[in-house]
Structure 1
Amino acid sequence: RTEEDEWYANRLVNEALLEVDHHGYGPVHINVPLSEPLFYFTAEALPSVRRMVRRDMSDEGRTLAFFLKEELPKYRRVLVVSGQMSSDEAVGVAACLSGSRVAWLTEVLGNCPSASEAVRGFDALLYAAREEDLQALRPDLVITVGGHVVSKRLKQFLRRTPSLVHWHVSPDGLPADLFCALTTVVEASPADFFRLFFRSEALLSGAYAQLWHESCARLASPETGYSEIYAVRRVLEALPPHAVLHLANSSAVRLAELCRLPEGVEVQCNRGVNGIEGSVSAAVGYAAVSDRLNFLLVGDLSFFYDMNALWNGHVRSNLRIVVLNNGGGAIFHALPGLDMAGDTRRFVTASHGASAAGWAESQGFTYLRVTDTVSLLAALDDLLDEAATAPVLLEVFTDAETDAEEQRNYYHAIKEEWKNFLR
Structure 2
Amino acid sequence: MYSDNPLITNLLSLLKQFGIRKIVISPGSRHFSIIHSMESDPFFELFSVVDERSAAFFAVGLIQQSNEPVAVCCTSGTSVINYGSAVIEAFYQKLPLLLLTADRLPEFLGQMEDQMFRQGDTFQHFVKFNGQLKQIKNAFDEWYCNRIINEGLLALNHNGQGPVQLNIPIENHHLDTFSKTALPTVRKIDRLFSYETDESWQNLAKKLQNKKVMIVWGQTHFIPKEVAAAFEKFVEAFNPVVLTDNLSNYNGPNTLDDTFLLLRALKRSEKSEFSPDIVITLYGNYVFNGEIKQLLRPLGKSVEHWMIGANGEIVDPFRRLTHIFEMPEQLFFNKLSAFSENSKSTYFDQWNEISKLLPEPNVTYSELYAIGEFIHKLPQNVDLHIANSSPIRMASTYKIDPSVKVYCNRGVNGIDGCMSTAVGFAAGTSNATFLMIGDLTFFYDMNAVWNRHLSKNFRILLLNNEGGAVMHMPLHERLASILPKHVSAGHVTSAKGWLESVGFTYLAANDEKSCQEGIEKLTDLSQEGPIVLEVFTEKETDVRILKEYFKSLNRETLMDKVKMKATAKMKNILKRF
TM-score of the two chains, using structure 1 as the length reference: 0.92
Match of 2:280 among 135, 138, 143: 143
Matched residue, 1:13: 149
Match of 1:324 among 448, 454, 463: 463
The separation in 1 between residues aligned to 2:371 and 2:394, in whole angstroms, is 7
* 1:363 and 2:502 correspond: yes
Relative to structure 1, is the Cα distance of residues 350 and 39 closer, same or farther in structure 2, using a 3 angstrom cutoff? Answer: same
* 1:110 and 2:254 correspond: no
* 1:334 and 2:467 correspond: no
Post-superposition CA distance 1:92-147 (Å, at most 9, x none)? 3376235451111111111013x643012233233233655432221111111111
Does the aligned pair in 2 maintain the 1:102–1:204 contact within 8 Å?
no
Aligned length: 418
Matched residue, 2:206: 73
Relative to structure 1, is the Cα distance of residues 398 and 116 closer, same or farther in structure 2, using a 3 angstrom cutoff? Answer: farther
* 1:158 and 2:296 correspond: yes
Give RMSD over aligned pairs.
2.2
The separation in 2 between residues aligned to 1:146 and 1:266, in whole angstroms, is 16
The separation in 1 between residues aligned to 2:304 and 2:444, in whole angstroms, is 42
Matched residue, 1:119: 256
| 1:133-282 alignment runs, 5 A limit | 133-151=270-288, 152-162=290-300, 163-202=302-341, 204-282=343-421
SS of equivalent to 2:166: coil
Does the aligned pair in 2 maintain the 1:84–1:147 contact within 8 Å?
yes
Aligned identity (percent) is 36
| 1:39-54 alignment runs, 5 A limit | 40-42=176-178, 44=180, 45-54=182-191
Post-superposition CA distance 1:15-73 (Å, at most 9, x none)? 23322222211222223222124573535344332111110101xxx43x432311332
* 1:84 and 2:219 correspond: yes
Which moves more between the two structures, 359-368 or 98-107?
A: 98-107
Relative to structure 1, is the Cα distance of residues 407 and 90 closer, same or farther in structure 2, using a 3 angstrom cutoff? Answer: farther
Relative to structure 1, is the Cα distance of residues 265 and 354 closer, same or farther in structure 2, using a 3 angstrom cutoff? Answer: same
Matched residue, 2:454: 315
Structure exhibiting the larger radius of gyration computed from Cα positions: 2
Does the aligned pair in 1 maintain the 2:249–2:405 contact within 8 Å?
yes
The separation in 2 between residues aligned to 1:56 and 1:289, in whole angstroms, is 37
Matched residue, 2:120: none
* 1:385 and 2:521 correspond: no
Relative to structure 1, is the Cα distance of residues 132 and 321 closer, same or farther in structure 2, using a 3 angstrom cutoff? Answer: closer
- 5+ long unaligned stretches in structure 1: none
Relative to structure 1, is the Cα distance of residues 154 and 178 closer, same or farther in structure 2, using a 3 angstrom cutoff? Answer: same
* 1:57 and 2:57 correspond: no
The amino acid of 1:15's aligned partner reads E
SS of equivalent to 2:223: helix
The separation in 1 between residues aligned to 2:225 and 2:344, in whole angstroms, is 24
Deviation at 1:307, TM superposition (A): 0.6
Post-superposition CA distance 1:160-187 (Å, at most 9, x none)? 2241101001121112212110000001
The separation in 2 between residues aligned to 1:42 and 1:404, in whole angstroms, is 56
Relative to structure 1, is the Cα distance of residues 34 and 338 closer, same or farther in structure 2, using a 3 angstrom cutoff? Answer: farther
- 5+ long unaligned stretches in structure 2: 1-136, 565-577
The amino acid of 2:194's aligned partner reads M
Structure 1 consecutive aligned stretches of length 4 or more whose deviation exceeds 4 Å? 336-339
Match of 1:3 among 139, 142, 152: 139
The separation in 1 between residues aligned to 2:229 and 2:364, in whole angstroms, is 36
Does the aligned pair in 2 maintain the 1:171–1:189 contact within 8 Å?
yes
TM-score of the two chains, using structure 2 as the length reference: 0.68
Deviation at 1:249, TM superposition (A): 1.0
The separation in 1 between residues aligned to 2:362 and 2:538, in whole angstroms, is 18
The separation in 2 between residues aligned to 1:377 and 1:234, in whole angstroms, is 7
* 1:345 and 2:484 correspond: yes
Deviation at 1:404, TM superposition (A): 1.0
Relative to structure 1, is the Cα distance of residues 382 and 95 closer, same or farther in structure 2, using a 3 angstrom cutoff? Answer: farther
Greater RCO, 1 or 2 (C-alpha within 8 Å, sep 6+)? 1
Matched residue, 2:558: 418
Does the aligned pair in 2 maintain the 1:84–1:148 contact within 8 Å?
yes
Does the aligned pair in 1 maintain the 2:509–2:535 contact within 8 Å?
yes
The amino acid of 2:245's aligned partner reads E
